[in-house]
Amino acid sequence: MSLQGNGNNHNFRPNLNDENDSFLKFNDSEEYAKITGQAPTSVEQDGSVEFGAVEDERKKKLQEAIERENSSAYEDLDDFVYRQNKRRAKTSGHRHHHRHISPSVLSPGRARRKSTSSSKKKHRHKHHYHRHHKKKRMKKWQKVSLGIIISLISLIVIMIIAVVLMYFAGKNALLDDGGLNINPPDYVETTNNGQYIFYKGHKYKYNDRMTSVLCIGADRDAEITRIDGDNQEFATGGQADSLFLVSMDVDTGKVNLVNISRETMAEVNVYTSRGKAAGSRTEQICLAYAYGNGGRTSCQNELVAVRRLFYNLPINFFLSLNIDGIAQINDSVGGVLVKSPETIAEFHEGETYKLQGTLAESFVRSRSHETYKGNSLRMERQKVYLEAFAQNVFTKTRAKLTVPLDVYNIAKPYITTNIGLNEVAYFTVTALRGGFTGLDVQNVPGKTKQGEKYAEFYVNEKKFFEMFLDLYYIRVD
């Protein structure tokens, strides 16, 4: 049904209570009769029906019918506008707002009539807003930058996890004493296989937080020493030019270094040319290295001799460095600054030198053969060098945690060791945590004498045992 208003006033809504509303027209007489229940008063030439004067009751019914038709037309138009705006929003991607338009803005003959059947529910459209956001795409350089950042973060996390795992694995290995069995001098009383020692009226407990590594400076090109006898003993593996026992307290991070003279007279295991044990004999401790293949077997035999010298102290790890690798390792930390304690070769007592390349090897290896004290003087230079080298490594490690691992990898072609990266990581982290303040270097106390052919160093047992007690035990009374 279409309703026609007065003139062009499209917002006009008829009121049948007004006697002047007789101009209201319907499109055809059938619709008029259906709504009003009576025949039209007159029919126009265009087929529309004009409503004339009727009684109040019929006016009321007609008014209600018109209002229902108006409401239906509004709802149809509102739904139409909503769908149209929704389609526009999909194509434009912009925020939009539904505007409700009166059905009278349309031409009277174009408003759709919605069925008033009771089987269909009326559509009630609520006024609302829709927001549509356009997804922004990342530029190529942003994707690349984000990928690099994520990769770096992942790498750092992996490194941290790896160092932590290596740290604890190294700790468990280094603190394994393998069953303590200390064998001190006969005049010293012990209990629990040396866990407790009673000395000069005091009680001492073994410090199970100490770990030790034997470091060997090996000269594999040294003159071959052969010992021919009934058992066909031999020594072809070279010699231990220098020996250091490095010990660390894992709770404090303090590092002690005991310098052992290569000429120390000690009990050394000897072997036949076929590698069979041929007993032991007292000779220079450096020759323990010679009874082996210049590799692991030489290191193991040297470790046995040093462990025996230190009253069967648990020493499970060794590291042997061929002197050919000194220059490369020295240069890997940018060189080492030292002050020479004696005049020898190209060095002068009291002068400061920046050791690089072969100069570092000369400083730690040269010794005078004109005096039996030549090795003792060399040991002093080696002590100076090791302290400066360790301090240099520690300083660089504070700026870059992987420096010890870098040094280890550079030294690898020149070393023989049973120390793995786990132990290196543990030593590094523990030293850093303890705030490394330098090496506490001590020499095994004793005296050098000229033997029949070579210099011989004899340990002062009392002083050595007291040093041993001070380093590896804690007074508990």
What does DSSP say about strands 255-260 and 440-443: parallel, antiparallel, or unpaired? parallel
pLDDT for position 371: 75
- State how far the alpha carbon of 432 is from the alpha carbons of 45, 185, 332, 395, 411, in Å: 110, 36, 20, 10, 21
Collapsing DSSP to helix, strand or coil, 442 comes out as strand
Cβ partners under 8 Å of residue 268, min gap 6:
280, 281, 282, 283, 285, 287, 288, 291, 301, 305
CB 247 within 8 A of CB 175: no
pLDDT for position 19: 45
pLDDT for position 111: 42
Q: Which residues of 110-129 are buried (b: 16+ CB within 10 A; e: fewer)?
A: ebeebeeeeeeeeeeeeeee
Return the amino acid letter for 252: T
Q: What are phi and psi of 240, to 5 degrees?
A: -85, 100
Rounded CA-CA distance 413/6 in Å is: 108
Residue 68's Cβ-side half-sphere holds a number of Cα atoms within 13 Å equal to: 13
Rounded CA-CA distance 217/381 in Å is: 14
SS (H, E, C) 348-361: CCCCEEEECCHHHH
Full set of structural domains in the chain with CATH: 19-130 (no CATH), 164-475 (3.40.630.190)
Rounded CA-CA distance 194/298 in Å is: 28
pLDDT in tens, the chain (477 residues): 344 444 444 443 444 444 444 444 555 566 656 666 666 655 555 555 555 544 556 666 667 766 666 666 556 555 655 566 656 655 555 444 444 444 444 444 444 444 444 444 444 545 554 555 555 666 666 666 666 776 666 656 555 555 554 555 556 666 777 788 999 999 999 999 999 999 999 999 999 988 899 999 988 766 555 555 555 667 778 889 899 999 988 888 788 899 999 999 999 999 887 778 888 999 999 999 998 888 899 999 999 999 999 999 999 889 999 888 899 999 999 999 999 999 998 999 999 999 999 999 999 988 887 777 788 888 889 889 988 998 888 888 888 878 887 888 898 899 999 887 777 777 777 766 766 666 788 999 999 998 888 899 999 999 999 999 999 999 999
pLDDT for position 12: 39
Predicted TM-score (pTM) of this structure: 0.62
Burial class for 374, CB neighbours closer than 10 Å (0-12, 13-18, 19+): middle
Q: Which residues of 316-343 are buried (b: 16+ CB within 10 A; e: fewer)?
A: bbbbbbbbebbbbbbebbebbebebebe
CB 243 within 8 A of CB 302: yes
- State how far the alpha carbon of 181 is from the alpha carbons of 189, 193, 311, 312, in Å: 13, 5, 9, 7
Among 384, 377, 378, CA closest to 337: 384
pLDDT for position 121: 46
Cβ partners under 8 Å of residue 451, min gap 6:
none
Q: Which helix (H) or strand (E) holds 422?
A: helix 421-433
Q: Token digits for 285?
A: 């401790």
Task: Return the DSSP state at 119.
Answer: T
Rounded CA-CA distance 233/279 in Å is: 10
